[in-house]
Chains A and B, each alone.
Chain A
Amino acid sequence: MASTRFRTAVAPPSRGTVALVGAAPARTLWRTAARRLRRNPPAMISIVFLAAIHLVAAVGVGVLPHDPFATNPLESLRAGSLQHPLGTDEVGRDVLARLVLGSRVSLAVGFVAMAISVLVGVAVGAAAGYLGRWIDVVLMRFTDAMMALPTLFVVLAALAVFGGGPITATVVIGLTAWMPVARVVRGEYLRWRVSEFVDAARAVGGSDLRIMLRHILPQVVPSIIVAATLNIAFAILTESAISYLGLGIRPPLPSWGNMLQNAQIYIWSAPTLALYPGLLILMTVLAYNFLGDGLRDALDPRLKL
């Protein structure tokens, strides 16, 4: 509570007076952000698209008539028809059903990997920014070193060690994406560490851990949301790449990436097979990037007026 009250002290008088009387200033931030976001057409279209694709991924598998694993050699590589709207793949499985299940797999990997990267990034960034001194130096040099390494080489080396599969792939992707989060969070902790509300919290006997989590963390949430949104985009893209290489999600379980694995072989006879999964990846990643960018503009406290 102390944290939020002090924050409004720097807000313009008109809104500041209202806030001081008792309205939660955090709501004002979110309301301003929502208003700004509504004036950003790419971000709004992205939200609608993302809502749709997540809904389909969540409930679509049960609704569709076809089993995504059922093969039928007699019906292989068919073009779109009434029975199979997007056609069938090389072993006669319904492409639409596999795309829907693949959406669930790819989005789940994206979310979990994002959660891992945010947890690690916030922990590292908060420790470096708040504790400072040699801890900061060590943690940030490590972050820089990780950033300098090409992601896919690291991912490949890690997969060579731990083997492929959905769980290792997800964890490895998460562990290659935390660095930007750590940098942003560190910057925020450096900034808030010297603020008055932190001094106040310390004066009444708040421990370092309590100050980091209860007082500073809420201030950092907007930045974390932006970084998390962009990280989902990164994670989905990376998952698709390693699954395409045959090292991530393995068939028969479909993901957008591994559905493209065989598409290259049938590029002559069934080019549409290569079209749909890639288009879904592009649109979903694009939407998350637009949304992340829109959120960054909307949540930027410097543009508060």
Chain B
Amino acid sequence: MVSLAPGGPAIMTTMETTPEMREAHRRRLGLDQPLPVRFVKWTAAAVRADFGRSFNDGRRVGEVIRERLPNTLLLGGAALLLSVLIGIPAGIVSATRRASPVDYTVTFLSFIGVSIPAFWFAILLILLFSVRLDWLPASGMATIGAPFSLADRLLHLIMPAFVLATATMPGLVRFMRSALLEELGQDYVRTARAKGLAGRRVLTRHAIRNALIPVVTILGVLIPRLVGGAVITETIFGWPGMGQLAVASTVGRDYPLVMGLTVVVAIVVVFSNLVVDLAYGWLDPRITYG
């Protein structure tokens, strides 16, 4: 499907060549064959985890992706951690102090979070922390030429992870807030209060624990959003992951790479959804499978 694009790699790579040379190039890349044939061949190879070679540099697509995947997982994992560490407490505070200035502030900020264009937010952060204050590096994964160090990697990680987390945090905050509000209205909370348990203890031991269970399911929704957000974040911060690769290969019409990336991303998403589902069953004994 991807190879329906007008233009095509043969034209892109050979700007000043004769039609014969272009034809030979097309044959070498297998572009002279009809589309259905190419798709069947691609599928047959793909199920054996062979996505062919990149049009760009001739390297195996699997190899190129394997190089990029850990970087995206690191960025996505850090962003997920940030959203959970900030989002869950924010949701709890928002629910327990309902209709207070704190609640309104949290709600307003989460509206900003879903509405702010990630790339513009990234530019603002770079402007402030890299250009003005010179605290954080503006791009890349490591200082060029410097030996690997954890501190250096973390410094490079802060801004991209935060930008990526702003896309997922608001959903988490609002979900946590409504889940907790619902639990607080339950009879067992009143019973716990009635038997004389301190307000704080009712909250931490009973309500929050129960409210957290449905919150796990929303992680399944957040993961595709994180991966999608990585496209923008990685491009701006020069983070060498799969999102950046997706943009580059789309611009360069590198079909094998685009196809391979889409398949790998789908696998990652499906796999993490499976993990989320299993975790849900483990957390909530009422859920059984089979």
B21 within 8 A of A: no
Knowing A150-B227, A237-B117, say if A160 contacts B258 (CB, 8 Å): yes
A233 within 8 A of B: yes
The answer to whether A159 touches B250 (Cβ under 8 A) is yes
**What is the bound-complex CA distance between A278 and B131, given in angstroms?**
18
Knowing A148-B224, A151-B228, A289-B114, say if A274 contacts B273 (CB, 8 Å): no
Q: Which of B127, B235, B270 sits near A245, CB closer than 8 Å?
A: B235
CB neighbours (8 Å) of B117 from chain A are: 237, 240-241, 244, 257, 260, 278, 281-282, 285
A132 within 8 A of B: no
Number of residues from B at the complex interface, CB < 8 A? 48
The answer to whether A156 touches B5 (Cβ under 8 A) is no
The answer to whether A282 touches B4 (Cβ under 8 A) is no
Question: In this complex, what residue of B is CB-closest to A246?
Answer: B251
B24 within 8 A of A: no
Knowing A282-B120, A290-B111, say if A156 contacts B250 (CB, 8 Å): yes
The answer to whether B6 touches A244 (Cβ under 8 A) is no
B123 within 8 A of A: yes
Residue with the greatest number of chain A CB neighbours at <10 A, chosen from B221, B249, B250: B250
**What is the bound-complex CA distance between A263 and B247, given in angstroms?**
19
Question: In this complex, what residue of B is CB-closest to A284?
Answer: B115
Give min CB distance, B256 to chain A, whole Å.
11
Give min CB distance, B114 to chain A, whole Å.
6
CB neighbours (8 Å) of A150 from chain B are: 224-225, 227-229, 231, 265, 269
Interface residues of B in 44-99 (CB under 8 A from A): none
Question: In this complex, what residue of B is CB-closest to A286?
Answer: B115
Knowing A148-B224, A152-B229, A274-B120, say if A157 contacts B262 (CB, 8 Å): yes
**What is the bound-complex CA distance between A260 and B253, given in angstroms?**
24
Q: Which of B115, B126, B246, B247 sits near A237, CB closer than 8 Å?
A: B115
The answer to whether A267 touches B251 (Cβ under 8 A) is no
Knowing A148-B269, A289-B111, say if A278 contacts B124 (CB, 8 Å): yes
**What is the bound-complex CA distance between A150 and B232, given in angstroms?**
12
The answer to whether A148 touches B6 (Cβ under 8 A) is no
A149 within 8 A of B: yes
The answer to whether A149 touches B5 (Cβ under 8 A) is no
CB neighbours (8 Å) of A218 from chain B are: none
The answer to whether B231 touches A163 (Cβ under 8 A) is no
A147 within 8 A of B: yes
The answer to whether A233 touches B265 (Cβ under 8 A) is no
Give min CB distance, A219 to chain B, whole Å.
25
**What is the bound-complex CA distance between A162 and B118, given in angstroms?**
25
**What is the bound-complex CA distance between A55 and B6, given in angstroms?**
38
A301 within 8 A of B: no
CB neighbours (8 Å) of A289 from chain B are: 111, 114-115
The answer to whether B111 touches A267 (Cβ under 8 A) is no
A28 within 8 A of B: no
**What is the bound-complex CA distance between A289 and B261, given in angstroms?**
32
Interface residues of A in 77-125 (CB under 8 A from B): none
The answer to whether B232 touches A152 (Cβ under 8 A) is yes
A161 within 8 A of B: yes
CB neighbours (8 Å) of A247 from chain B are: 247, 250-251
The answer to whether B262 touches A153 (Cβ under 8 A) is yes
Give min CB distance, A140 to chain B, whole Å.
16
**What is the bound-complex CA distance between A161 and B231, given in angstroms?**
18
Give min CB distance, B227 to chain A, whole Å.
4
**What is the bound-complex CA distance between A247 and B252, given in angstroms?**
12
Contact indicator per residue, chain B 201-240, by CB within 8 Å of chain A (1) or not (0): 0000000000000000000010011011101100110000
B1 within 8 A of A: yes
CB neighbours (8 Å) of B232 from chain A are: 152, 241, 244-245
A-B contacts besides A148-B224, A260-B119, A271-B127, 16 pairs, CB < 8 Å:
A150-B225, A150-B228, A153-B227, A153-B262, A157-B250, A161-B1, A162-B5, A240-B119, A244-B232, A247-B247, A247-B250, A247-B251, A260-B117, A278-B124, A286-B111, A289-B111
A-B pairs, 9 with minimum CB distance: A150-B228, A278-B120, A286-B115, A285-B115, A152-B231, A152-B228, A150-B227, A160-B250, A150-B224
A-to-B contact residues, CB < 8 Å? 147-154, 156-157, 159-163, 233, 237, 240-241, 244-247, 257, 260, 263-264, 267-268, 271, 274, 277-278, 281-282, 285-286, 289-290, 293
Q: Mind listing 28 A-B residue pairs with CB under 8 Å?
A: A147-B224, A150-B231, A152-B228, A152-B231, A152-B243, A153-B265, A156-B250, A157-B2, A157-B250, A157-B262, A159-B250, A160-B5, A160-B258, A161-B1, A161-B3, A161-B4, A161-B5, A237-B117, A245-B232, A247-B247, A260-B123, A264-B236, A267-B123, A274-B127, A278-B117, A285-B117, A289-B111, A289-B115
